[in-house]
Amino acid sequence: MSFDIIIENGQIIDGTKTKRYAGDVGITGDRIEKIGDLSGADAAQRIDARGKIVAPGFVDVHNHSDGWLLKTPHITSKTMQGFTTEVIMADGISYAPVNPHTAPEWIYYLRALNALRLEEYSGWESLADYMTLLDGKTAQNVLTHVPYANVRTMACGWGREVPDDYQMRMIVQEIALGMEAGAVGLSTGLDYISQCFSSTDEFVEACAPLVEMQGLYVSHVRYKKGTLAGVKEAVEIGRRAGIPVHISHLKGTAAEPAEEIIRYIDEVAVNEVDFSFEVYPYMPGSTMLNYLLPYEVWENGPLGVLRHLTREDIRDQFGQSLQQMPLETTTIAWVASKENSEHQGKTLREFIDERGGLAGDALADLLIEENLAVLLVLTAGEDDEIDPFLSHPNFMLGTDGILHEPVDVPKKGGDVFEHFGSVKDSPSYTSGTLRSRIHPRQYGSAARVLGPAVRVKQLFSLEEAVYKLSGYPAARFGAKHRGEVRVGWFADVVVFDAETITDRATYADPHQHSIGVDHVLVNGRLVITNGAPVPKLGNPLPGRSLKFKE
Ligand SMILES: [Zn+2]
């Protein structure tokens, strides 16, 4: 018998929580063809996994890779942790679907998350268009949600008016199209533009096209109004619509500690709906500075915001919401302009003091200078507070990662220049631009769950950790025949060292790859080998656009 690749002598953790066992994995083409003793078999390539774990590729169910994947075909910060599939278009805000009116608004609005510029817009409109752009053009597989605000703004603009019957029909039709294109369900972000104006009833109606496929209602709930009330609203929407519910980046707060939220999940949520949630394994968060603006500035769309920012009353309200923020421990992670990049890494307090005047004025001016594109990272909070969520049986991992790296340049023929190591090695590095100070979750989330959470904190077994990263999210988000090391299934495979795997990214120095992952295969092709990215991935690239349950 002959294989393309044999991964031999490893311990297989298959992604189902079953205890590890010794075995070789034989791969032909994009599939796992045989598991067992393959010492007598031929192979074009043999990978020695002695002393290592062989596991299914990991699925990141929440991230902001949407735009980065278009221009960073290999997001090494993710594959170096073992991620092989990205589920994009979270929080109800993304780049598709759009129409010629909404496209420039979304590109402008999302700059702090994805950094796409208008000149990079190539004319896509539907969700299917966007997924086609990524198919075979990325190192990782991609699944998508239908982002709700994109759909709503196409039907009825950016304001707070309740959609009329005709507009509601357009919304439902567009979501149905997204499901046909292979979306996993609907993503919503009820603290974000457009959707902050939507009612519970509106969401129930919008979810009708999800029922047949049992697509997921995935929600960043109204956290600003209180976590528990927000989660209850999501459960109500799922129960009334008759679909599963998944909560995005669920955490406790000082007012609503983890125990209280988990009690509600165990006693109510899991009995009312098919329920799951994700969170990244860090207590501090990261968000856009414009997230703190009063909702009324968004009523004419993102391109209309700047003129509201000169208003006295808006600056006052913004100043008041800044009082809820720990200014001393919130840092400026990234800004769009070279001029202000010297402020990356400074705390908001330092920036405000340097500028002088009121906090609301200093930061409203910064938003005007940056065309709204300012990303923040919060650094206060104890990571141990996340542990009860990580240990919960309904938890899976979502990094919520935001990249902001100098961009890898695709070379002719689809090969990817690997930016790996110093930022100055990147061909797109512009001298004078300082490095972003993004949240370390982009680089460290999976390694934290497999390493420190298992070895040091002993929250769960390694078999359970792998399940939370592979088998569980793949099944939940409909990545069919993925998420397990199983004969006949796709060869998305990770080889890692259980003794050494750990995160290294910090708030002060976030651009540090995790260590301990030796090899990563996507659809049977190596993207990481011997602990480093494969320099030339060929054309097409190994990643595919996947469809829900297909
Ligand atoms: Zn969110």
CATH code, 207: 3.20.20.140
User: Which pLDDT tens digit goes with each residue over 10-27?
Assistant: 999 999 999 999 999 999
Per-residue model confidence (pLDDT) at position 414:
37
C-alpha span between 198 and 149 (Å, rounded): 10
Strands (DSSP E) found in 190-228 = 216-220
Residue 252 lies in a domain: yes
Return mean pLDDT, the chain: 93
User: Which pLDDT tens digit goes with each residue over 206-220?
Assistant: 999 999 999 999 999
Distance 220 CA to ligand 1 centre (A): 5
Residue 268 has pLDDT above 50, yes or no: yes
Distance 249 CA to ligand 1 centre (A): 7
Per-residue model confidence (pLDDT) at position 409:
36
Distance 250 CA to ligand 1 centre (A): 9
Question: Does one domain contain both 72 and 205?
Answer: yes
User: Which pLDDT tens digit goes with each residue over 401-421?
Assistant: 999 875 433 333 333 333 333
Residue 245 lies in a domain: yes
Distance 289 CA to ligand 1 centre (A): 13
Distance 1 CA to ligand 1 centre (A): 48
Question: Does one domain contain both 101 and 221?
Answer: yes
Residue 14 lies in a domain: yes
Residue 513 has pLDDT above 50, yes or no: yes
Per-residue model confidence (pLDDT) at position 81:
97
Distance 436 CA to ligand 1 centre (A): 20
Question: Does one domain contain both 244 and 320?
Answer: no
Distance 364 CA to ligand 1 centre (A): 22
Distance 188 CA to ligand 1 centre (A): 9
C-alpha span between 482 and 407 (Å, rounded): 29
Per-residue model confidence (pLDDT) at position 412:
36
Query: What are the backbone angles phi and psi of residue 446, rounded to the nearest 5°?
Result: -70, -40
**Residue 1: which pLDDT band, with cuts at 50, 70 and 90?**
confident
**Residue 434: which pLDDT band, with cuts at 50, 70 and 90?**
low
Distance 174 CA to ligand 1 centre (A): 22
Distance 93 CA to ligand 1 centre (A): 9
C-alpha span between 370 and 357 (Å, rounded): 19
Q: Would you call 97 helix, strand, or coil by DSSP?
A: coil
Distance 219 CA to ligand 1 centre (A): 8
C-alpha span between 44 and 73 (Å, rounded): 26
Number of domains in the chain: 3
Q: Identify the H or E element spanning 476.
A: helix 471-476
* Residues near 203 by beta carbon (within 8 Å), at least 6 away in sequence: 148, 188, 217, 237, 241
Residue 420 lies in a domain: no
Residue 259 lies in a domain: yes
Distance 340 CA to ligand 1 centre (A): 26
Question: Does one domain contain both 137 and 234?
Answer: yes
C-alpha span between 396 and 390 (Å, rounded): 8
Per-residue model confidence (pLDDT) at position 410:
36
Q: Would you call 121 helix, strand, or coil by DSSP?
A: coil
Q: Which whole-number Å values give the CA distances from 5 to 26, 27, 74, 314, 441, in the listed order?
A: 6, 5, 22, 61, 32
Distance 48 CA to ligand 1 centre (A): 40
Question: Does one domain contain both 313 and 269?
Answer: no
Distance 317 CA to ligand 1 centre (A): 22
Residue 412 lies in a domain: no
Distance 318 CA to ligand 1 centre (A): 20
Distance 193 CA to ligand 1 centre (A): 12
Is residue 421 exposed (0-12), middle (13-18) or buried (19+ Cβ within 10 Å)? Answer: exposed
Per-residue model confidence (pLDDT) at position 353:
97
- Domain of 315? 288-378
Share of the chain above pLDDT 90, in %: 91
Distance 281 CA to ligand 1 centre (A): 15
Distance 284 CA to ligand 1 centre (A): 13
Distance 112 CA to ligand 1 centre (A): 14
Question: Does one domain contain both 300 and 251?
Answer: no
Question: Does one domain contain both 461 and 359?
Answer: no
Q: Show the CA angle centred on residue 251, arms to residues 493 and 96, nearest 5°.
A: 60
Distance 248 CA to ligand 1 centre (A): 6
Identify whether the C-beta of residue 493 lies closer than 8 Å to the C-beta of residue 10: no
**Residue 272: which pLDDT band, with cuts at 50, 70 and 90?**
very high
Beta-bridged to residue 144, according to DSSP, are: 88
* Residues near 173 by beta carbon (within 8 Å), at least 6 away in sequence: none
Q: Show the CA angle centred on residue 476, arms to residues 470 and 478, nearest 5°.
A: 95
Per-residue model confidence (pLDDT) at position 148:
98
Question: Does one domain contain both 470 and 517?
Answer: yes
Residue 241 lies in a domain: yes
Residue 488 has pLDDT above 70, yes or no: yes
Distance 187 CA to ligand 1 centre (A): 10
Question: Does one domain contain both 292 and 371?
Answer: yes
Please identify every residue whose CB atom is under 5 Å from ligand 1, which is an ion.
91, 220
Q: Identify the H or E element spanning 533.
A: strand 532-533
Question: Does one domain contain both 109 and 44?
Answer: no
Residue 436 has pLDDT above 60, yes or no: yes
C-alpha span between 482 and 84 (Å, rounded): 10
Distance 117 CA to ligand 1 centre (A): 22
Distance 324 CA to ligand 1 centre (A): 18
Question: Does one domain contain both 219 and 173?
Answer: yes
C-alpha span between 65 and 72 (Å, rounded): 9
Distance 424 CA to ligand 1 centre (A): 31
The secondary structure of the chain in percent helix, strand, coil, rounded to multiples of 5, reads 35, 20, 45
Distance 255 CA to ligand 1 centre (A): 19
